[in-house]
Amino acid sequence: MSNTFPFVRPRRLRQNDRIRGLVRETHLNVEQLIYPVFIAEGISEPREISSMPGIMQWPLEMIGREAQRIAELGIPGLLLFGIPNEKDEVGSQAYAEHGVIQEAIQRIKAASPETLVITDVCLCEYTSHGHCGVLHNGNVQNDETLDLLSEMALSHVAAGADIVAPSDMMDGRVGALRHALDEHGYQQTPIMAYSVKYASGFYGPFREAAGSAPQFGDRRAYQMDPANVREALRELEQDIAEGADMVMVKPALSYLDVIRQVRDHCDLPLAAYNVSGEYSMVKAAAQLGWIDEQRIVMEMLTSIRRAGADIIITYFAPEVAQWLKG
């Protein structure tokens, strides 16, 4: 009988800030945030993405300064996405020596050497058809695409990238990248695998940001069905077996149960991608005065951490870094 009311009163530990802080189970730290950035060729001024207020496409000339600004906020790393001037059937600019990302990496490393540079490895921003791999008769060819992704990852690391993050969802890409990197002397470069990436409507604003909407069809033949979680664990095991150093679940907020299952299923560091649609919905509601933006964002990111993510990739990173400083 003693373990119930009135002897037990959970409100005792909610009385004030200091007690609440003492018993808080989940913390949000700036060291665990990654900020995605878009770099576009052929622009000279930052261009705001209309569906993502506050998020820019950056010209190459300015990305070094932006990297410094983010580093000064205490955010350890950037996840880079490139928007090339020219696209073709096989995404040549994705693995060109002087492609937009290869140039951006060098500029970021020169301006802010301590910034962790993580690169997205996928062809969709570079292909004329907007799909994540090479096409034959309208179908994405898995194994041919692996060779191009490996070339892409190698070119990023050669330019100075610290971590590569394959997001294409081809089968066998983690192993292909690991082999290619090791063969070229990059045994120390970690792979952050987008292990569990769903075909999600929450990517909508990103497609404007990265100019990467498929010209026909959709990505359901390679990205995962939002209804599946057992399949997520199979994808996860495969990536671990192929040598992933870190794994990812994307998107985050509608997939907190998936984050939890992945967390319980493996010991690797786990990242969650708080994607563009999740950002835009909050910004839109905040602009209308319908929500308290800071409070909602902190609650959402805390929920991602509570679900089990170690690392959060989020467009809110700079604002959160400032809020955490208080």
- Closest distance to Zn ion from the beta carbon of 132 (Å): 3
Q: How far apart are CA 24 and CA 207, in angstroms?
A: 37
- Closest distance to Zn ion from the beta carbon of 187 (Å): 26
Q: What is the dihedral of CA 225, 190, 113, 270, to 10 degrees?
A: 50
CA distances from 54 to 168, 267, 276, 312 (A): 27, 35, 12, 19
**Active-site option among 87, 109, 250, 283:** 250
Interface positions, 83-142, toward Zn ion (CB under 5 A):
122, 124, 132
68 or 141: whose CB is closer to Zn ion? 141
**Active-site option among 87, 109, 197, 283:** 197
* 3-class DSSP state of 278: helix
Query: For 192-208, b where at least 16 C-beta lie within 10 A, e where not — what string?
Result: bbbbbbbebebbebbbb
Pairing of strands 56-59, 47-48: antiparallel
Q: How far apart are CA 28 and CA 6, in angstroms?
A: 34
- Closest distance to Zn ion from the beta carbon of 167 (Å): 6
Pairing of strands 163-166, 116-121: parallel
Q: How far apart are CA 153 and CA 145, in angstroms?
A: 12
Interface positions, 217-246, toward Zn ion (CB under 5 A):
none
Tokens at 39, concatenated: 């770099």
Question: Phi/psi at 151 (nearest 5 deg)?
Answer: -60, -40
158 or 213: whose CB is closer to Zn ion? 213
Q: How far apart are CA 127 and CA 115, in angstroms?
A: 28
**Residue 49: how many other CB atoms lie within 10 Å:** 19
121 or 301: whose CB is closer to Zn ion? 121
Active site residue 109: no
Give residue for tokens 């700036």: 30
| Residue type for position 15 | Q
In 3D, which of 203, 163, 193, 192 has the Cα closest to residue 315?
Answer: 203
Pairing of strands 311-314, 33-40: parallel
194 or 315: whose CB is closer to Zn ion? 194
Active site residue 87: no
Q: How far apart are CA 82 and CA 104, in angstroms?
A: 9
64 or 126: whose CB is closer to Zn ion? 126
132 or 159: whose CB is closer to Zn ion? 132
In 3D, which of 279, 317, 204 has the Cα closest to residue 52?
Answer: 279
Binding footprint of Zn ion, residue count (CB under 5 A): 3
183 or 218: whose CB is closer to Zn ion? 218
- Closest distance to Zn ion from the beta carbon of 123 (Å): 6
Pairing of strands 139-140, 163-166: unpaired
Q: Return residues touching Zn ion (CB under 5 A).
A: 122, 124, 132
Residues taking part in catalysis? 197, 250
